[in-house]
């Protein structure tokens, strides 16, 4: 098995990372492989399933051309400054360029201790590895920018948490792992030179359309991508759960699926993370937190700006931060218009949208099923599967919605098709994810995991035989919290 690595981050100054070796494990076994992504990146899926492939996944065997490094970064965790974090349980083994010229990091997560591990063991339990796999791949299928999962293997070793759990490693693929926290790290060291290198590198890698760009260009572009990213989360009911600045990638991809979850019934206060006691990262707070993170980003960038230009920078940066809520609002409302089958968003559509959200909150309506329910009835009065039936409380609103639709020229069929790709039937509901993980971790039984993965990778295609996967949890099935699982 040969892969052509083309490592660029490892050529940056030595203080950007530490050279590390993954720590070998006893008995690696591949448990899941992403065939499509493997093909895209030039990996042989059947090799990844083989013994040799398992050795690669866990880091026992490095491929030629691999230059394993752990990246350094800092960050604000739950608002508190942490001067040094870094890849404490992950190793970047190399970068690959796909057929379309897109560059990706290939990272092993859970591959052992690094200089950034602090008290941690550098390992990952199987449950969180499988959770990240499911949610990341579901996000990708839903069209949300995200890191991907290439493969996972168990290590044959136990990791000790509240109890002893099977260990595993995830092969994570990302456009890069450069975080807001990476900039914060160098800023906190007063290392203007490193910031300059990092700004140039990041612009070149993620924003090549910006020629001879500056820190201000980078801030502006990152803010744009964050606004669209968080709008997409909101439009699908996704709650990240740990929006710390070290978990915000400047590429605009979603990263670090720890205590994340999708909302069932619509309630902006929804929090899943067991460690988020004050609801800092609740669903409804995500746009505000993204803005807060961008302010930290701007402050970090400023350290790299020449003294005499700082005042200008500050003024422009403030403008970028100030306009973020409006940027988000536009992205959210335009997305909402698409969800409701409108050809475009008009300002006077907002009251209709607001009323729908209010109605959903009052009726504790399932977020996903409500929009899919509207999709099912948009092309007439036909029968819909029972789970998509909307309660009578929506009748009056539906009348108003239909009036609005009649102002557009699209046919019912076109509308139906447009809405069906905005409003999924299947999302990774927490109770389903928990059940799949439970079978795998407790029984070594992956059937539920694989079925769920299959369902989630075609989220817009409702299939009757998978009805149970579209349903919200019954009261006794609810899983109200997720754990970081570090």
* Residues contributing to the site for ligand AMP (CB under 6 A): 85-89, 116-117, 120-123, 242, 247, 256, 258, 484, 486
Give the nearer residue to ligand AMP in terms of CB position, either 271 or 305: 271
CB of 309 to ligand AMP, least distance (A): 32
**In angstroms, rounded to a whole number, what is the distance separating the alpha carbons of residues 55 and 51?**
6
Q: Which does 85 bind (CB under 5 to 8 A by kind): Mg ion, ligand AMP, none?
A: ligand AMP
CB of 256 to Mg ion, least distance (A): 4
Q: Which does 486 bind (CB under 5 to 8 A by kind): ligand AMP, Mg ion, none?
A: ligand AMP
Written as one string, the DSSP assignment of 18-61 is EE--PPP-S--EEEEE-HHHHHHHT--HHHHHSHHHHHHHHTSS
Q: Centre a 10 Å sphere on the Cβ of residue 42 and count the other Cβ atoms it contains.
A: 14
H or E stretch covering 395: helix 395-406
Q: Which does 122 bind (CB under 5 to 8 A by kind): ligand AMP, Mg ion, none?
A: ligand AMP
Closest residue to Mg ion in the complex (CB):
256
221: closest CA among 237, 239, 206, 205? 206
Number of helices followed by number of strands (H, E) in the chain: 17, 12
Give the nearer residue to ligand AMP in terms of CB position, either 155 or 247: 247
Give the nearer residue to ligand AMP in terms of CB position, either 300 or 360: 300
Give the nearer residue to ligand AMP in terms of CB position, either 148 or 415: 148
The first and second tokens of residue 465, run together, are 């035989």
Which phi and psi angles does 70 have, rounded to 5°? -110, 130
Give the nearer residue to ligand AMP in terms of CB position, either 249 or 301: 249
Stretch in the footprint of Mg ion (CB under 5 A) among 168-176, 225-233, 246-254, 354-362: 246-254
**In angstroms, rounded to a whole number, what is the distance separating the alpha carbons of residues 51 and 443?**
22
**293 makes contact with Mg ion (CB under 5 A):** no
CB of 106 to ligand AMP, least distance (A): 17
**256 makes contact with Mg ion (CB under 5 A):** yes
Q: Which does 87 bind (CB under 5 to 8 A by kind): ligand AMP, Mg ion, none?
A: ligand AMP
First-to-last alpha carbon distance for the chain, in angstroms, is 32
CB of 160 to ligand AMP, least distance (A): 10
CB of 164 to ligand AMP, least distance (A): 14
Q: Which of 87, 105, 246, 366 is catalytic?
A: 246
Closest residue to ligand AMP in the complex (CB):
120
Those residues whose C-beta lies under 8 Å from the C-beta of residue 324, and which sit 6 or more positions away, are 223, 226, 227, 287, 290, 291, 294
Give the nearer residue to Mg ion in terms of CB position, either 185 or 371: 185
Residue 371 — left, alpha, or beta (φ > 0 → left; ψ -120 to 50 → alpha)?
alpha
CB of 178 to ligand AMP, least distance (A): 14
Give the nearer residue to ligand AMP in terms of CB position, either 187 or 203: 187
Task: Give the CA dihedral 326, 329, 331, 335, nearest 10 degrees.
Answer: -170
Task: Give the CA dihedral 431, 432, 436, 441, nearest 10 degrees.
Answer: -10
Task: Pick from 247, 254, 270, 482 the residue near Mg ion by CB under 5 A.
Answer: 247
**Residue in the block written with tokens 């993370």:** 273
Distances (CA, A) of 109 to 47, 173, 182, 201, 233: 20, 10, 18, 24, 24
**In angstroms, rounded to a whole number, what is the distance separating the alpha carbons of residues 238 and 207?**
26
CB of 246 to ligand AMP, least distance (A): 6
Active-site annotation holds for 246:
yes
**Which residues contact Mg ion (rule: CB under 5 A)?**
247, 256
Catalytic residue IDs: 246
């Amino acid at each position: 098995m040969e892969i052509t690595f083309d490592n660029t981050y490892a050529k940056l100054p030595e203080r950007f990372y530490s050279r590390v070796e993954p720590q070998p494990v006893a008995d690696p076994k591949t448990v899941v492989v992403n065939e499509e992504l493997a093909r895209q990146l030039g990996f042989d899926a059947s090799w990844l399933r083989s013994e040799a492939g398992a050795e690669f996944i866990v880091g026992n065997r490095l491929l030629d051309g691999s230059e394993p490094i752990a990246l350094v970064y800092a960050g604000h965790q739950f608002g508190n400054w942490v001067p040094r974090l870094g890849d404490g349980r992950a190793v970047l083994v190399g970068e690959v360029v796909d057929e379309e010229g897109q560059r990706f990091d290939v990272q092993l997560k859970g591959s052992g201790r690094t200089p950034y591990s602090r008290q941690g063991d550098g390992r990952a339990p199987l449950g969180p590895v499988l959770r990240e796999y499911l949610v990341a791949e579901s996000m990708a299928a839903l069209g949300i920018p995200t890191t991907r999962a290439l493969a996972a293997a168990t290590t044959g070793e136990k990791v000790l948490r509240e109890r002893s759990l099977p260990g595993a490693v995830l092969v994570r693929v990302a456009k890069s792992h450069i975080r807001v926290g990476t900039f914060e790290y160098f800023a906190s060291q007063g290392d203007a030179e490193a910031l300059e290198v990092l700004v140039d590198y990041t612009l070149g890698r993620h924003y090549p359309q910006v020629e001879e760009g500056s820190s201000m260009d980078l801030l502006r572009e990152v803010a744009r991508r964050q606004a669209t990213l968080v709008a997409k989360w909101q439009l699908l009911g996704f709650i990240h759960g740990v929006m710390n600045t070290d978990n915000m990638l400047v590429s605009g991809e979603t990263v670090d699926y720890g205590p994340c979850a999708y909302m069932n019934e619509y309630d902006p206060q929804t929090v899943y993370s067991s460690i988020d006691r004050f609801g800092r990262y609740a669903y409804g707070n995500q746009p505000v937190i993204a803005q807060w993170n961008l302010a930290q980003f701007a402050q970090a960038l400023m350290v790299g700006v020449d003294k005499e230009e700082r005042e200008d920078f500050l003024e422009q940066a403030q403008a970028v931060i100030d306009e973020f809520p409006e940027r988000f609002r536009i992205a959210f409302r335009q997305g909402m218009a698409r969800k409701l089958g409108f050809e475009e968003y008009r300002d006077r559509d907002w009251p209709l949208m607001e009323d729908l959200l209010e109605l959903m909150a009052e009726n504790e309506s399932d977020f996903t099923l409500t929009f899919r329910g509207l999709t099912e009835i948009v092309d007439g009065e036909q029968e819909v599967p029972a789970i998509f039936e909307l309660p009578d409380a929506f009748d009056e609103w539906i009348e108003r919605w239909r009036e609005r639709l009649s102002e557009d020229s699209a046919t019912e069929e076109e509308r139906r098709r447009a809405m069906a790709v905005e409003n999924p039937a299947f999302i990774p509901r927490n109770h389903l994810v928990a059940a799949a993980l439970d079978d795998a971790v407790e029984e070594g039984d992956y059937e539920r995991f694989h079925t769920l993965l299959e369902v989630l990778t075609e989220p817009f295609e409702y299939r009757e035989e998978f009805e149970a996967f579209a349903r919200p949890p019954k009261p006794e099935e609810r899983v109200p919290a997720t754990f970081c699982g570090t």
